[in-house]
Amino acid sequence: MFDDLLRRGEIRRLPPDPRQVADALGIAKRDAAVARAMLQGNDDWAYTIAYNAMLQAVRAIMFSQGFRPAGRNTHMTVVRFAELALPAEDAILLDRMRRKRHASVYDMAGVISHAEAEAAVARAEEFVARIEAKLGSR
């Protein structure tokens, strides 16, 4: 299932490490909470942090399956991994958030509306909780 990513050097195999999984989930949960708090201050950063929470949750899945991102463009690698490991709607949402976050961080401030930030935070909280439950059941 992940052969193309391995062949292109986008991911590498590693022994599954419960500590790495727990660390990535811890970061994901922290970021979801920080994103919620950031809604009171800056919509761009709330959105960005919500995206990072989701990114870290997917990294936890990668680690649990014995993979890690490698090389350049690791955010895109995580999205590609999500396309193979998660339901299509999750991967699509993650990629849309990645692109919007990129524009917010690198191109122009104020591109994220408050409604978008609130929705992103709610989605990230739900996503992280779902991934944590999935990984906890292994």
Q: What is the CATH number of the domain that holds 40?
A: 1.20.120.330
pLDDT at 114: 94
| pLDDT computed for residue 104 by the predictor | 79
Considering its fold, how many domains does the chain have in total?
Answer: 1
Q: Which of 1, 28, 7 is nearest to 71 (CA)?
A: 7
Which residues make beta-bridge pairs with 126?
none
For 35-61, letters b (16+ CB in 10 Å) and e give bbebbeeebbbbbbbbbbbbbbbbbbb
In DSSP notation, 46-101 reads: HHHHHHHHHHHHHHHHHHHTTEEE-SS-HHHHHHHHHHHHS-HHHHHHHHHHHHHH
Q: Which domain holds residue 53?
A: 3-136
Q: What is the pLDDT of residue 1?
A: 83
Contact 117, 47 (CB under 8 A): yes
Spell out the per-residue pLDDT of the chain, length 138, in tens.
Answer: 899 999 999 999 999 989 999 999 999 999 999 999 999 989 999 999 999 999 999 999 999 999 999 988 899 999 999 999 999 999 999 999 998 888 777 777 888 999 999 999 999 999 999 999 999 855
Query: Whole-angstrom Cα distance, residue 59 to residue 135?
Result: 12
